Amino acid sequence: MGLLKIDKEKCLGCGACIDACPYGALDLVDDVVVVNEKCTACGACIDACPVMALLIPRLSGGDAERLSAYRGVWVWIEQFHGRMCEVSAEMLGQGRRLADTRGTALTACVLGRNVEHIAGEAVSYGADHVFLADDPLFESYRTIPYAGTLLGLVREHMPEIFLLGASARGRDLAGAMAADLHTGLTADCTGLDIDADTGLLLQTRPAFGGNIMATILCRDYRPQMATVRHHVFELPIPDRTRQGQIVRVAPALPEEKVPTRVVGFTEETETVHLANAKVIVAGGRGVGSAAGFEPIRRLADMLGGAVGASRSAVDAGWISYAHQVGQTGRTVRPDLYIACGISGAIQHLAGMKTSRVIVAINKNPDAPIFQVANYGIVGDLFAVIPALIDEFKKRLAVTPGFGAEAAEAVLTRS
Ligand SMILES: Cc1cc2nc3c(=O)[nH]c(=O)nc-3n(C[C@H](O)[C@H](O)[C@H](O)COP(=O)(O)OP(=O)(O)OC[C@H]3O[C@@H](n4cnc5c(N)ncnc54)[C@H](O)[C@@H]3O)c2cc1C
C-alpha cells in the first residue's frame, strides 16, 4: 500500500526516514526500509533520506495516456428509507452538464434495498447508465459496504469525475473513497465546470474563511472527486420519457465481513425545516437577544416559513445551530428570504444568495446585504417587522394560504 516507492538498491537502512515519518508508516526489515499501509504520501520522509532512495511518483507528462483511459462522469445517488435525496438529483443535473461538455456519458450509482425505482428516477434526471446494487446489505448507509462496492466499480470502469452530495453520508463516503483511490477530493464546491483547454474539472469553493473563491484542479489523479451541498445547484426538471441502461451489481463483500450494525434511528427532537422551506425569515446580531427573535418567529409563522439565523446570533446563544444559514450552517434556496439585522457577510451570503427573492431589513443603509437584496428596507427591525405583519394580516384576510408570492406582492406595494 502507499504511493511511496523505495529504491532498495540505494537504501542504506539508516532509519532517517523512519524518524521523519509522522505516521509510523516506515519500518526497517532486513536493513531495508519498507512502507506500510499507514503511508499518506505526505512526503515528509523524502528530504530526510541522504541518498534519495525514496520517491513519490507523480502522474504527469508521460501519464497522459493513462489519464485519458478514464472516461465518464459518475454520481453517487444518496437515498434514505427508499427516497432519493434531493441533493443527488441536483448532482445529476450538474453531472449531465459536465458529461455533455466532455462528450461523455453520465452514470448514476444507486445502492440500497428495494431501490429499483430510484434507478429509474436517476435516468429521468439525466443518467445514461445506472449501476444498481439492490441488496439487504445496503438497507442503511454504512461506510464499509458502500465504499467497498463503489471502489470496485470505480477501479473496473475508471470514471474521470465522481460527484457526491455533501451530506453527512456523502462526506463520509467521499473521504473514504478518495483516500483509498489516492485521488483528490474537493469538499463543498459552489461551482463545477470543465476547463476548455485541458478538460480538467474546475472545482470552485470558498477558501480562507470564505474571503476568496479558490478553483481547485486535480491534475494527476483520477477520478476527480467533488462534493456539493444541498441547494447549491438547481434541481433539474425530470424527463420521465428518458431511457437509460440499468446494470445490476452485487455487493463487494458479505454481511459477515461488515463490522458495523445499524441498531435504529432516532428522530431529531428539534425540527427545523430550513432546507425545504419556501420562506425563511432570518435574524442576525441586530435582533439583540434571544427575545429579539420573537417578531422574527411571528413573521415566519405568518408566512408559513422557517426561522433562520446568522452565525453571530447562534454564537451569542440566542438560537440553536440548527437555524444557522451560511458557509458553516445550511445552504438554503427559498422563494423568499427576509434577512433582519444581518449585515451580509460573505460567509452568510454563501448560504442564501441564490434565494429567489431577498428582502433585507437593516438600519445601516450601507450594510452589504443591500447589494444582494431585491428589496431593501432601511429601518429598525423592531418597527419594520410589526408594520409588515400588519400589512400581511390585511392581505391574509383575503388570501388564505399566504405564501412567498403573495408576500412579494405586498412588499412591492409597500
Ligand atoms: C470560517 C467562517 C465561517 C462562517 N460561517 C458563517 C455562517 O455559516 N453563517 C453566518 O451567518 N456567518 C458565518 N460567519 C460569520 C460572518 O463572517 C459574520 O461574522 C456574521 O455573518 C455576522 O452576523 P450578523 O450579520 O448577524 O452580525 P453583524 O455583522 O454584526 O451585523 C448586524 C447587523 O444588524 C444591523 N442592525 C443592528 N440593530 C438593528 C436593528 N435594530 N434593526 C435593523 N438592523 C439592525 C446592523 O446595522 C448590522 O448590519 C463565518 C465566519 C468565518 C470566519
Whichever domain contains 18, its CATH number is 3.30.70.20
Domain carrying residue 384: 279-413
Which long-range contacts does 289-295 make (Cβ < 8 Å, 24+ apart)? 289/318, 290/317, 290/318, 290/319, 292/318, 292/341, 292/382, 293/318, 293/319, 295/381, 295/382, 295/385, 295/386, 295/389
* DSSP conformation class of 34: E
Tell me if 272 is assigned to some domain: no
Q: Can you tell me the mean pLDDT for 394-400?
A: 65
Q: Can you tell me the mean pLDDT for 212-222?
A: 92
d(CA 396, CA 403): 10
Tell me if 273 is assigned to some domain: no
Whether 182 and 221 have beta carbons less than 8 Å apart is answered as yes
Which atom of ligand 1 approaches the CA of 309 most closely? 11
Per-residue pLDDT at 220 exceeds 90: no
The CA-based dihedral angle spanning residues 44, 46, 50, 53, taken in that order and rounded to the nearest 10 degrees? 140
Q: Can you tell me the mean pLDDT for 259-280?
A: 82
> What is the model's pTM?
0.71
Question: Do 84 and 198 belong together in one domain?
Answer: yes
Average pLDDT, the chain: 91
Q: How many domains does the chain have?
A: 3
Question: Do 219 and 297 belong together in one domain?
Answer: no
Tell me if 407 is assigned to some domain: yes
* 274 CA to centre of ligand 1 in angstroms: 18
Question: Do 358 and 391 belong together in one domain?
Answer: yes
Per-residue pLDDT at 352 exceeds 90: yes
Per-residue pLDDT at 55 exceeds 50: yes
The model's confidence at residue 39, banded by pLDDT at 50, 70 and 90, is: confident
* 294 CA to centre of ligand 1 in angstroms: 18
Q: Can you tell me the mean pLDDT for 183-200?
A: 95
Q: Can you tell me the mean pLDDT for 262-290?
A: 87
Residue 313 Cβ < 6 Å to ligand 1: yes
Question: Do 319 and 393 belong together in one domain?
Answer: yes
CATH code for the domain in which residue 123 is found: 3.40.50.620
Set of cell numbers at residue 386: 410589526
Q: Can you tell me the mean pLDDT for 192-217?
A: 91
Residue 331 Cβ < 6 Å to ligand 1: no
Of 254, 269, 301, which one is at a domain's C-terminal end? 254
Q: Can you tell me the mean pLDDT for 352-369?
A: 96
Question: Do 299 and 339 belong together in one domain?
Answer: yes
Question: Do 52 and 71 belong together in one domain?
Answer: no
Tell me if 87 is assigned to some domain: yes
